[in-house]
Amino acid sequence: MGVSEILAQIDREIALLQQARAILGGGSLGSGSGPGRSSKGLKKKRNLTPEGRKRIAEAVKRRWAEQKKASSSK
């Protein structure tokens, strides 16, 4: 068994381990990744609290009021 055969076997084993990891939840090493491709990891859904939603809504209303005031004064 030559060095090239050993390296080929190691490469096959690495590929199998990467597939197993992707299946079990690693995700980023799945079939869509490879050289020259950017792999985006799994993103968690971001949940806002009711207070956070209220602050955002108030900020948007203030922005709209400022825009309306600026457009009516022209």
CA gap 50, 61 in Å, rounded: 16
pLDDT for 26-72, tens place per residue? 655 445 555 555 556 677 888 889 999 999 999 999 999 999 988 88
Domain regions of the chain by residue span: 3-31+49-72
Query: DSSP assignment, residue 30?
Result: S
CA gap 3, 10 in Å, rounded: 11
pLDDT at position 41 is: 66
Is the overall model pTM greater than 0.85, yes or no?
A: no
Burial of 7 (0-12, 13-18, 19+ CB in 10 A): exposed
Tokens 């985006």 correspond to what residue?
A: 40
